[in-house]
Amino acid sequence: MAAVDQFYLLYREISRSCIFFVEALAVVGAWYTLRKCVSLVFGTCNMLRLHLIPKLGGEIDLVKRYGKWAVITGSTDGIGKAYAEELAKRGVNVILISRNKEKLEAVSRSISETYKVETDFIVADFSKGREAYPAIKEALKDREIGILVNNVGILHLYPDYFTNLPEDVLWDVININIASANMMVHIVLPGMVKKKKGAIVNISSACCCQPAPMLTTYAASKAYLDYFSRALHYEYASKGIFIQSLIPFIITTKLVPCSKTISKGSIFFPSAGEYASHAVSTLGLSTRTTGYWKHAIQVMLGKCLPEWICVWFAMYLCRTIRKEALTCKVK
């Protein structure tokens, strides 16, 4: 009985000495929970502001706010083509830039006939480095460009390990994904500053938010675009220029042609047209957004998960796509 009493007294003394630490941990836990709840509420409100209210409140007059001409790179397929069509639907004249003249002519003619706007195109191969830009600069010198969309980008045929990538592919990623955005902004931005209005949209990717193994170079190039956009915003917002970083999640495009996993649209993978119709609605409202409410939910959930879970999922998806691509290649 004495031993029991002594154990009880010892337990009570230990409990008294630890109560401060228990209370401190409770305060830390409550503060962490409160921060997460507040972040979730603000994220939800921001998502509604960006993706619901614009649809209910009517479209912004992009011509009046930014100007009558838009330049879109990589505009014969995927997001670039869909974004050009959305701008034309809102009355903006478009200048398309890509390397395939036949496709440019076809898309330019289709947009002009469908949406009754003026169109033009410039043939340019951004993989050639500096030689592409003098012709672009000359073609745009007398145009009052109100919107620039840096969409052109390249991804190796399928996710793969870094050492498996040829040097030519690495240089193409740098020249097309990174250098093109810098040079196009350098060409167009002075005119916008002179007019004190304009918008630049750099299409990055949600893979810039977390490490993306097997897409290492591509993801790094998209992270560059994201930081490039955010820094430019702080430099030029006071001069009337709106700069937006779009960070979409997976979209059904021809970027990975051999993958059945993302070749068809689904509740998770929207078509380029569906994505563009939402993304254009966020122009002028947010400097950094996924552009699409379903993607916003996916990114918001991803931020709540530990990095290792996100990386594990990315590796699983990339390995699945790689396996499909290699099987397709063998056939």
For 38, the token pair is 């507040």
- Alpha carbons within 13 angstroms on the beta-carbon side of residue 227 total 9
Q: 3-state DSSP: the chain helix, strand, coil percent, rounded to 5?
A: 65, 10, 25
DSSP code at position 257: T
For strands 69-73 and 93-98, give the pairing: parallel
Q: Is 227 a catalytic residue?
A: no
Sheet holding 145-150, edge to edge: 119-123, 93-98, 69-73, 145-150, 198-203, 241-246, 288-289
SS3 of residue 171 by DSSP: helix
SS3 of residue 253 by DSSP: coil
57-to-42, 53, 137, 281, 296 alpha-carbon distances in Å: 21, 6, 38, 11, 20
Angle between helix 101-115 and helix 78-89 axes, rounded to 10 deg = 30
SS3 of residue 1 by DSSP: coil
Catalytic site residue from 115, 133, 158, 218: 218
Residues 6+ apart with CB under 8 A from 210: 302, 307, 310, 311, 314
Cβ atoms of residues 79 and 104 within 8 Å: no
Q: Which residues are catalytic?
A: 218
